[in-house]
Chain A
Amino acid sequence: MGANAKLQQQQLSQFHNHHLLQEYEKQIGSKTASFSVQAYRKWIPKALVGWVMVTCGIALWLYSYMDDDGRLRRKELLQSMCDQRARMLQDQFIASVNHVHALAILISTFHYFKNPSAIDQEMFAEYTARTAFERPLLTGVAYSERVPDSEREEFERKYGWTIKTMQREAPPIRNEYAPVILSQETVSYLQSIDMMSGEEDRENIVRARSTGKAVFTGPFRLLGSNHLGVVLTFPVYKPKLPSSSTVQQRIEATAGYLGGSFDVESLVENLLGKLAGNQAILVNVYDVTNSSDPLIMYGHEDQEGDTSLVLESKLDFQDPFRKHKMVCRYHDNASWNWSAIITTGLFWMVGILIGYIFYGAGNHIVKVEDEFNEMEELKSRAEAADIAKSQFLAMVSHEIRTPMNGVLGMLALLLDTDLSSTQRDYAQTAQACGQALITLINEVLDRAKIEAGKLDLETVPFHLRSLLDDVLSLFSEKSRNKSIELAVFVSDNVPELVVGDPGRFRQVITNLVGNSVKFTERGHIFLRVHLEEHAKAVKNSKSNISSPMDGEESDSRQFGTLSALEAADEWNSWDTFKYFVAEEGFTMKDSSNGGTTHEDATGNLVTLRVCVEDTGIGIPLPAQYRVFMPFVQADSSTSRTYGGTGIGLSISKSLVELMGGQIKFVSRPRVGSTFTFTAVLQRYQGNDVNNAEKKRNAEDLPSSFRGLKAVIVDAKPVRAAVTRYHLKRLGIVVEVASSIKVAATMFGENDTLAAGKNSQPDIVLMEKDACFSGEEHGSPVWPSDWKQNGNKNSVRKFAKMILIATNISNWEVERAKEAGFEDTVIMKPLRASMMAACLHQVLGTGRKKSQGKGSSNYLQSSLLCGKKILVVDDNRVNQRVAAGALKKFGANVECADSGKAALELLQIPHGFDACFMDIQMPEMDGFEATRQIRQMEEQANEKSGAEGSIVEDGEDGWHLPVLAMTADVVQATYEECVKCGMDGYVSKPFEEQKLHQAVAKFFQDKPISRS
């Protein structure tokens, strides 16, 4: 339940984190959006509408402006044309009137002042006809004399005709008459007609004689032509009138009247016809004497043409009584102003297009940004989900592990009790299952950690060769059961000590070897480690030389592999392998000092190439591409046959990539697989490189075999090389003989040539099959030979005979003993330490060191023996329990119940070897206390550094190991612990095992200087 609550809490905090993350993302998002059109997105359509309206407005204004301009010009044109016409008409009129005036004077001069009259009809007609061009508007002129009624008869007598009215009748009796006496030929029909008989004419006459000026009638239908016209009347006076004469005087003096008719219609037409633009405009001339009722003089009354624009011009015919005007308008309606329309239209279109482009662009930007934001959010959510998933997985795995450990522990306890065989079987099965589950959970946890990026690789120096030996020892049981040959080989130029994460390195190799063991039923599994550059060099050199060698080699051996079975990657066969060995010197005389590391690599980094070759079932071709996918096995039937989850390889791949390498494989179904990975590690370059190496070598392998000589009899060179490798690690000088005969001859020669040089072998190691194959050939050749030699040479009897075998049956042992291998049998897989042990046994050398590692129980109880340990906890119960537990390990425990008390006790110099610190304490918590302890130590170290007393102390100065005690073992707490200077932590409540682990980790690798 506690675990459950913790889980929930963590989930909650994770959720919280996730939430925060989202919040953060949102902030980021809004920040970016504030620089964009996003904020104005709802204004975009409005802006478009506004823009369209503005564009329309401008277009309308432009049109009206251009149209007005055209209209104005049109009007001006009309005005000018109208004025021109009016002026012309007026000029012509006035010219005509003037001429009529001249005629009147002519008549008064030559008709009245001459007596008898100088003018007769004939003359007048001729004269007027010849001067007609002077009066272009007049159809004709005629002169009528004023005849009073009293003189009528006399007048009629004189001229010989009677006065007639317009209607060609005898006129009624009136005061006076005005018969035409002189007339132009064009109006000769007026002769003898009384002008007073016409209404207009009479008015005209009366008005003319009273004003003394030219007067006009209103327009009327003219006699004869029936055209519209006006009649001009001019008075002719008999006596010379003074200019300031009265009306009466003028009436009295009137002698007659000169009249002319303007055939306005035809004449104006004629006149206007001569002018340009005649067709374009319509002209009307009105008599507007009576302003309410204008009388048309010229033009059509009906409103044709463009009535919208009408202009008038005044006409002054110098008759004050009558007023005339000219009205002009265009013939056609004003045509559309195409240029304005087109210009405006284009403008409008461009405007709309621009608006649309901006609108589209804006919309597009908004859309893209929306999508971007959406994607961003989705991305962050996906990432958060991914992280959450990994964290969840990690946590759940962690949480499952705890109870599972309990289950396993209980099962272990259960197995220690008295159980019936069935119960034992059940319990063992349960334990195996539990262990499998733990392994799986660990793997899942690893994977999750890798995915969550939380897996940090350690960098500690470790012993590569012994690590590989350890891995092999894990599988020795299985491989022996399956009769698989399991071997390891490390090139000599690989450094002894490398710096990296041994746990992870081991994990990868264990996984690969484990897989190989699982899937291999016969043949071998061969683990090899080379330097990457070395491997490359060999590869190159091999490809250079290989062609001539090929034929010969493949004939002589089946397959040059460890077990002579075909391997997937031929690169591993003897063909190549011998180059590795050759490079190191097959008979390396100077290799007695163990691992000579070539200092060829300039850098600190060393790239290792690790190969795991097996002759198992291989991976089916179609499945090869998904080998590294998690939870995918090559074949679904695989898990049924062989078990496992298939997560191992994917973890290995991730780990290898973390170590800066690559993993790849070559596999052929039913032939085998070869997995190869590279890993970048550091060379160990500590200042005490020799010390450490020596120490570790001494710890790992005994040095008592240095300088011994051994002979390996083995027909398979690869296998011989492996054996040689292990022996060489023990410092033994090795010779290889491919068969017993060769060995015998070798020593035979040695006998004779160098008998005194101590070149006889101390040990003879023989492969089982080499031994028995010799026997198969009939006679037990070599034992007899050997015995003979042995008899001959006294040194020979010291040579120990050792048989090497993968598995060996009892009768084979018997036979071997019969054959002379009375000494011992070394079971494969070979390991240096195991070989050392066997050799000790055989050679009888002391096993002083072999007890060194002792049983763990001994270690456990003595680990803290005599150490003085401070326990800091405010909770008395906890304090007591911790103290009790530590005391059990032999420690001398003191307690403090607060951080302050602890600080007082830890004033330098103090005698404590370690401190267990509770984290949650009132006043001063564990973190703070530790920080202060570290501070104190630093000061003390500085001081002592100044005094130069470090060397004397034999240490780097004060550094008290502080271990945190905490109830929750969360990663964050651990990091916090490390941050404030703690060295580790123990979870509460104490469990013996855990406490021991934590303490042991700490005290084991510390040189025991004080105890």
Chain B
Amino acid sequence: MPLHHYRPPPNHGGITSTPQQQVTHQPPAMDVLSQLRHQLADYTNSLHRDGFLDDQFSQLQQLQDESSPDFAMEVVSLFFEDCQKLVTNMARALELQAVDFKQVDSSVHQLKGSSSSVGAARIKNLCVAFKTCCDSQNRDGCMRCLQEVNRECVLLKNKLQTLFRLEQQIISAGGSIPM
């Protein structure tokens, strides 16, 4: 998806704050639970709709069961660790005088693989653009892509943190996450 189409979700700030408010202000358990579930579904949908996530993330969530309850979170945090590392690597590589595009390319490939596994659709698509920049050895383009990737990573991290927090709230409220 081209970058200029990107716009932050309209209720970006609102969503992160609402769950907590809901929890604190509405003590009755079942009510809270259904509310939270509703919130979660809405939020997940919004993430899908805005293209942050794709099916693969749902698949990932489905892999989660009693034996590995934190599977999705585990994978996602792994992903962000990787992301951070790769972004730093690439930034360092791109700062050098003679840019080793091969190295950058392999990093981008890694990132693309991870993001597609996790279902981070935006980052995956960015990686495609990034890769073309790399192939054409376009340093400026690479820099721009890198910044975009970095931004998207941070953005997604926030969003997913919210998501997981929501889930955890549901669990701590005694419910199970509907899949």
State the A residues within 8 Å of B (CB).
1-2, 5, 406, 874-878, 880-881, 884-885, 887-888, 920, 922, 967, 988-992
| Closest chain B residue, CB of each to CB of A873 | B113
**Docked pose: A2 CA to B120 CA in angstroms:** 13
In the docked arrangement, what's the CA distance between A920 and B105, Å?
13
Chain A CB within 10 Å — which of B1, B63, B67 has the most?
B63
B119 contacts the other chain (CB 8 A): yes
Chain A residues whose C-beta falls within 8 Å of the C-beta of B68 in the assembled complex? 884, 887
Given contacts A875-B114, A989-B56, list 17 more A-B pairs with CB under 8 A: A1-B128, A406-B55, A875-B113, A876-B82, A877-B82, A880-B75, A881-B118, A884-B71, A887-B67, A888-B65, A920-B113, A967-B116, A989-B116, A989-B117, A990-B59, A991-B55, A992-B59
The reply to whether B78 and A989 contact each other, CB–CB distance below 8 Å, is no
| CB-CB nearest 10 A-B residue pairs | A877-B114, A884-B63, A881-B117, A878-B117, A877-B79, A875-B113, A989-B56, A880-B75, A989-B116, A989-B117
Measured CB to CB, the closest approach of chain B to A911, in angstroms, equals 21
Interface residues in chain B, defined as those with a beta carbon under 8 Å from any beta carbon in chain A: 1, 55-56, 59-60, 62-65, 67-68, 71, 74-75, 78-79, 82, 106, 109-110, 113-114, 116-119, 124-125, 128
Chain B residues with CB under 8 A of A920:
109, 113
Report how far A661 CA is from B137 CA in the complex, Å: 55
Closest A residue by C-beta to B109: A920
Q: Which of A1, A880, A922 has the most CB of B within 10 A?
A: A880
Q: Kindly list chain B residues whose C-beta atoms are within 8 Å of the C-beta of A880.
A: 74-75, 78
Chain A residues with Cβ below 8 Å from B116 are 967, 988-989
Cβ contact of B113, chosen from A878, A885, A887, cutoff 8 A: A878
Give me 22 A-to-B residue pairs in the complex whose CB atoms sit less than 8 angstroms apart, sorted by A's number. Answer: A1-B1, A1-B128, A2-B125, A874-B110, A875-B114, A877-B75, A877-B82, A877-B114, A877-B117, A880-B74, A881-B60, A884-B60, A884-B63, A884-B64, A887-B63, A887-B68, A888-B63, A920-B113, A988-B113, A988-B116, A989-B119, A991-B59
What's the nearest-Cβ distance from chain B to residue A399, in Å? 16
A886 nearest in chain B by CB position: B63
Compute how far the CA of A393 lies from the CA of B65 in the bound complex, rounded to whole angstroms: 42
Which residues on A sit within 8 Å (CB–CB) of B74? 880
Instruction: Check if A877 sits within 8 Å of B78, measured CB to CB.
Output: yes
Which B residue's beta carbon lies closest to that of A876?
A: B78
Residues of chain A within 8 A (CB-CB) of B113 are 875, 877-878, 920, 967, 988
Q: Are B124 and A875 in contact (CB under 8 A)?
A: no
In the complex, which of the residues A878, A967, A989 has the most CB atoms of chain B within 10 Å of its own CB atom? A989
Indicate which residue in B63, B106, B109, B118 contacts A885 across the interface (CB closer than 8 Å).
B63
Q: Which residues of B have CB within 8 Å of A991?
A: 55, 59
Assembly CA distance A989 to B62 (angstroms): 14
Give bound CA distance, A888 to B124, whole Å.
25
Residues of B contacting A881 in the complex (Cβ-Cβ under 8 angstroms):
60, 63, 75, 117-118
A5 to B116, CA, bound (A): 15
Q: Is the CB of B125 within 8 A of A1?
A: yes
A244 to B27, CA, bound (A): 188
Contact B65–A877 (Cβ < 8 Å): no
Residue of A with least CB distance to B128: A5
- Which residues of chain B come closer than 8 Å to A967, judged between CB atoms? 113, 116
By a CB distance below 8 angstroms, the chain B residues around A876 are: 78, 82, 114
Instruction: Give the distance in Å from the alpha carbon of A992 to the alpha carbon of B56 in the complex.
Output: 10
**Nearest opposing residue in chain A for B56, CB measure:** A989
Give the complex CA separation of A828 and B136 in angstroms. 65
A1 and B64 CA atoms in complex are apart in Å by: 28
Q: Which of B64, B110, B128 contacts A2 (CB 8 A)?
A: B128
Cα distance, A878 to B114, chains bound together (Å) = 6
CB distance from A445 to the nearest CB of B (A): 23
**A884, A887, A888, A967 — most chain B CB neighbours (10 Å):** A884
Give every chain A residue within 8 A of B59 (Cβ-Cβ). Answer: 885, 989-992
Residues of chain B within 8 A (CB-CB) of A989 are 56, 59, 116-117, 119
Determine the chain A residues whose CB is within 8 A of the CB of B65 once the complex forms.
888
CB nearest to B71 among chain A residues: A884
Is there an interface contact between B56 and A884, defined as CB atoms closer than 8 Å? no
Chain A contacts for B119, CB-based, 8 A: 989
Instruction: Report how far A991 CA is from B56 CA in the complex, Å.
Output: 8
Q: How far is the CB of A892 from chain B (nearest CB, A)?
A: 12
Report which of B62, B79, B106, B128 forms a contact with A992, defined as CB distance below 8 A.
B62
CB distance from A106 to the nearest CB of B (A): 138
Chain B minimum-CB-distance residue to A2? B128
* Complex alpha-carbon distance, A874 and B60, angstroms: 19
Contact partners of B125 in chain A: CB under 8 A: 1-2
Query: CA of A90 to CA of B78 in the docked complex: distance in angstroms?
Result: 143
CA distance A922 to B63 in the complex (A): 28
Question: In the complex, what distance in Å separates the CA atom of A1 from the CA atom of B114?
Answer: 18
Let me know if B75 and A884 touch, CB within 8 A.
Answer: yes
Q: How far is the CB of B52 from chain A (nearest CB, A)?
A: 15
In the bound complex, residues from chain A placing their C-beta under 8 Å from that of B56 are 989
By a CB distance below 8 angstroms, the chain B residues around A884 are 60, 63-64, 68, 71, 75
User: Which of B65, B106, B116, B124 has the most C-beta atoms of chain A within 10 angstroms of its own C-beta?
Assistant: B116
CB distance from A413 to the nearest CB of B (A): 10
In the complex, what distance in Å separates the CA atom of A879 from the CA atom of B110?
Answer: 12
- Residues of chain B within 8 A of A887, CB atoms compared: 63, 67-68
B54 to chain A, nearest CB (A): 9
Residues of A within 8 A of B79 (CB): 877
Q: Which residue of B lies closest to A410 (CB)?
A: B55
Q: Flag if A988 contacts B63 (CB, 8 Å).
A: no
B62 to chain A, nearest CB (A): 7
Interface centre among B1, B65, B71, B119 (most CB of A within 10 A): B71
Residue of A nearest to B81 (CB): A876
For B124, list chain A residues within 8 Å (CB): 2
Query: How far does the alpha carbon of A989 sit from the alpha carbon of B78 in the complex, in Å?
Result: 16
The residue on B at minimum CB distance from A885 is: B63
CA distance A885 to B74 in the complex (A): 14
Cβ of B109: which chain A residues have Cβ within 8 Å of it? 920
Contact between chains at B117 and A875 (CB < 8 Å): yes
Assembly CA distance A406 to B55 (angstroms): 10
> A2 — which chain B residues lie within 8 A by C-beta?
124-125, 128
Chain A contacts for B82, CB-based, 8 A:
875-877
State the Cβ distance, A573 to closest chain B Cβ, in Å.
56
B117 touches A988 (CB 8 A): yes
A424 to chain B, nearest CB (A): 22
Inter-chain CA distance A769–B118, complex, in Å, is 63
Closest CB in chain A relative to B91 CB, distance in Å: 20
Cα A339 to Cα B67 with chains together (Å) = 120
Contacts of A885 in B (CB 8 A): 59, 63
Q: Tell me, in angstroms, the Cα distance from A842 to B99 when the chains sit together.
A: 80
- Chain A residues closer than 8 Å to B67, beta-carbon distance: 887
Query: Could you tell me the distance between the alpha carbons of A878 and B64 in the complex, rounded to whole angstroms?
Result: 15
Closest residue of A by beta carbon distance from B72: A884
**Could you tell me the distance between the alpha carbons of A881 and B76 in the complex, rounded to whole angstroms?**
10
Given the contacts A1-B1, A884-B68, A989-B56, A875 and B110 also touching, CB distance less than 8 Å? yes
Considering the chains assembled together, what is the distance between the CA atoms of A920 and B63 in angstroms?
25
B4 to chain A, nearest CB (A): 14
Interface centre among A2, A406, A881, A992 (most CB of B within 10 A): A881
A987 CB, min distance to chain B CBs, angstroms: 11
Question: Nearest B residue to A881 by beta-carbon distance?
Answer: B117
Q: Which residues of B sit under 8 angstroms from A874, Cβ to Cβ? A: 110
CA distance A526 to B130 in the complex (A): 60
Q: How far is the CA of A881 from the CA of B79 in the complex (A)?
A: 11
Of residues A5, A875, A877, A878, which shows the largest number of chain B Cβ atoms within 10 Å of its Cβ?
Answer: A877
Q: How far is the CA of A888 from the CA of B65 in the complex (A)?
A: 8
Per the bound structure, the CA–CA distance linking A992 and B60 in Å amounts to 10
Q: Which chain A residues border B60 with CB–CB below 8 Å?
A: 881, 884
Complex CA–CA separation, A878 to B68 (angstroms): 17
Instruction: Give the complex CA separation of A967 and B116 in angstroms.
Output: 9
Q: Tell me the bound Cα distance from A878 to B128 in angstroms.
A: 18
The minimal Cβ–Cβ distance linking B39 to chain A, given in whole angstroms, is 20
**Smallest CB gap from B76: residue in A:** A877
Give Cα distance in the complex from A148 to B137, angstroms. 144
CA distance A881 to B75 in the complex (A): 7
